[in-house]
Amino acid sequence: MEENKPEQEHSFLIETGEDGNKYIPARSRIQVFIETYPDYTLETHVLTDALGALAESRITDHEGRFKVNGWAYRSRDESGSFVAIAETESKQRACAFLGLGLTFGIASAETMRDVDLSDNSIINDIKKRIGKNGEGE
């Protein structure tokens, strides 16, 4: 079965960020994912610690085979719900890595800011939970 070519068959909502750059919002990528791949699964896992939340979203095909994943981190210091933001960003990144809405890149400028995770205990927790190959315990 031939897979759809989402860039050619769907219209994405395009918005302009505070920096003046155009981007495709997460809700648009996720909606097109649901429409384009109704038999695929988008599953998200979120880990939190004293510093913030790290989310991984994994997309599997109709036979359960891993296709792509997307990661996002949000600090507790940020405004809004840091857990919900990390979850949504990881979903939109996974959708982008699947090829949905790549016209303006994978992530918005806000997502691309530098985050130092080198001393974050959450990284060690993730390594223990999902293992080096990402297959889980």
Residue 20 CB neighbour total at 10 angstroms:
7
pLDDT digits (tens, 9 = 90+) for 27-52: 888 999 999 999 999 999 999 998 99
**Beta partners for 60?**
41, 66
Would residue 133 count as lying in a domain? Answer: no
Would residue 50 count as lying in a domain? Answer: yes
Would residue 87 count as lying in a domain? Answer: yes
Total domains in the fold of the chain:
1
Pick 10 or 122 by higher pLDDT. Answer: 10
Cβ contact 100:26 at 8 Å: no
Would residue 137 count as lying in a domain? Answer: no
In this predicted structure, what is the pLDDT of residue 11? 72
- Domain residues for the domain of 32 are 6-113+120-128
- Rounded distance between C-alpha atoms, residue 63 and residue 57, angstroms: 17
Would residue 136 count as lying in a domain? Answer: no
With a pLDDT cut of 90, the percent of the chain lying above it is: 42
pLDDT digits (tens, 9 = 90+) for 47-78: 999 899 999 999 999 999 999 999 999 999 87
- Rounded distance between C-alpha atoms, residue 115 and residue 66, angstroms: 27
